[in-house]
Amino acid sequence: MAYYPDDLYYTKAHEWASVDENIVTVGITTYAQEKLGEVVYVEIPEPGQKVTASETFGVVESVKAVSDLYAPVSGTVIQVNEGIADNPGPINDSPMDDGWLIKIEMDHEKELMNLMRSAEYKKLIEE
């Protein structure tokens, strides 16, 4: 069973979000990576682009499927995981760590209340 840290937030679409003040780091969960299989392509926004909570911000493509990526919060992309588009290997090896995708400067902290915590997310994926 994969490990889902209690200090992270999770979406129903299987993204994780790590919050450090108003900066939110986003990636896909281990569960999502396992279901997708080997990720071969990632499309993510450029720094400076706006994203909106619960709306798509990119695409992840694997040998099995293409899946949209959904923003956990609204804000401005301030950093992307350089090289992840050219080499998505870290998503396969370490989706909850080295395989992070983008960092968002969050507009509304209250949007975090719409996300799941670890216990809720584990229930969702066990169903």
What is the pTM for the complete model shown?
0.96
- The beta strands (E) that lie in the chain are given as 9-10, 15-20, 23-28, 39-43, 50-51, 56-62, 66-70, 75-80, 102-106
Q: Longest Cα pair distance anywhere in the chain, in angstroms? A: 37
Digit-coded pLDDT (tens) for 22-54: 999 999 999 999 999 999 999 999 999 999 999
Domains of the chain: 9-126 (2.40.50.100)
Measured at the alpha carbon of residue 70, what is the angle toward residues 124 and 41, in degrees to the nearest 5? 105
Residue pLDDT, tens place only, 13-24: 999 999 999 999
Amino acid at site 109: E
113: amino acid identity, one letter: M
Q: How many CA atoms lie within 13 A of 25 on its CB side?
A: 13
According to the model, what pLDDT value does residue 126 have?
93
Task: Please classify residue 39 by burial: count the beta carbons closer than 10 Å to its beta carbon, then call 0-12 exposed, 13-18 middle and 19+ buried.
Answer: buried
Using pLDDT thresholds of 50, 70 and 90, give the confidence band for residue 127: confident
pLDDT in tens, 59-91: 999 999 999 999 999 999 999 999 998 999 999
